[in-house]
Amino acid sequence: MTDRLWGRAFIGGAIRERMLITVEDSQIAEIREVVQAPSDALVVHDLIVPGFIDIHVHGGDGADFMDGAEEAVARVSSFHARNGTTALAATTLSASRADIRNAVTTIARVSHSSRQAAEICAIHLEGPYISAKRAGAQSVECVRPADIQEIGALVNEASHLRWIITVAPEIEGVRALIEHFRGRVIFSIGHTAADYGDAVAALEWGATQFTHLFNAMTGMHHREPGVVGAALVSTAATAELIADGIHVHPAVLRVATLAMPSRIALITDAVRAAGMPAGDYKLYDQKFSVSESGGARLADGTLAGSTLTMQRAVQNMVELAGLPIEMVIPMATEVPARILGIADRKGRIAAGYDADLVVLTPKFEVARVFVRGRELR
């Protein structure tokens, strides 16, 4: 990467003109306003924003983290990096103990490599301690009671990474699991048939997040607020949001964002079909199809993740939900960085932070990506 970039940049919550960003040793060394671009600086005519951070992504480019292969991990992280994601939480599914362990050990091993495109900062176990009634496209046969020993062994396999675990509060053993690992693991409420009271109780036990808000959980009714209601009235919990225009109506995307300021993290929930043509694919042991419109569904119509990228999620929040870009960018950068505990080095354009930068065109398409100071080609 060139040592310096000059142009419009999203800094400190606002778009600022004529900013000179100096990079040294993969980090941002200095930021200052300069009237004219220095001769040795790369002049950027578009908008420079922090690299996107995806805390819930399964796959892309034909590969899935559950494949348990180093090549698959590399393909997924490289694909999403090309679309603006510079850091992510590699996400698994409800599966056998052996398959989850294999996926985790592979992710942990590859995450040490500096050659990966998007940096793997965390592992997100989406199950298997979820409700069979709200399993969605996940394997019902692999859903099981919470097991402290199983999680302890997995966390030890990748102790250098942050951990997120999606759980259903009503499942046997979940309270003990949350209370045992509280502080070491981020617990996210999701794939649940719980009511409002159950969700509030889970927050009191130590859960701090909601997995893909509105999907695979009890909705909000004026006489029964459900899990969605618990998320909306919480003052501290964060929530994931899939902004593909399919999982959540654009009007509801807007409502959730306005109701939970600084607490919404955009995610892709992308599966292996992301970046691939329409056709048939596999999500662990489930077959699903992708239509020409991009929707991924099982044969019975159940949504099976998405084919979304973070770039498209940002674009949709502006173009479909009608939100200002200044409000949307933190949902893809600062909020997920805070969730993963890496807000001291990622999620902002600031001195001392990793030089993870994305250049967006006026149509919010990715023009250039820099990962830790290196431009992807």
Catalytic residue among 269, 285, 344, 356: 269
The residue to which tokens 């009511």 are assigned: 195
3-state SS record for the chain = CCCEEEEEEEECCEEEEEEEEEEECCEEEEEEECCCCCCCCEEEEEEEEECEEEEEECEECCEEHHHCCHHHHHHHHHHHHHCCEEEEEEEECCCCHHHHHHHHHHHHHHHCCCCCCCEEEEEEEECCCCCHHHCCCCCHHHCCCCCHHHHHHHHHHCCCCEEEEEECCCCCCHHHHHHHHECCEEEEECCCCCCHHHHHHHHHHCCCEECCCCCCCCCCCCCCCHHHHHHHHCCCCEEEEECCCCCCCHHHHHHHHHHCCCCEEEECCECCCCCCCCEEEEECCEEEEECCCCCEECCCCCECCECCCHHHHHHHHHHCCCCCHHHHHHHHCHHHHHHHCCCCCCCCCCCCCECCEEEECCCCCEEEEEECCEECC
The Cβ-side half-sphere exposure at 54, using a 13 Å CA radius, reads: 34
**Cis omega before residue 128 (within 30°)?**
yes
147 as an active site residue: the answer is: no
Separation CA 132–CA 58 (nearest Å): 20
Structure tokens at 157: 């396999």
Angstrom distances, CA of residue 279 to CA of 43, 268, 291, 307:
41, 19, 7, 12
Which residue numbers are catalytic? 269
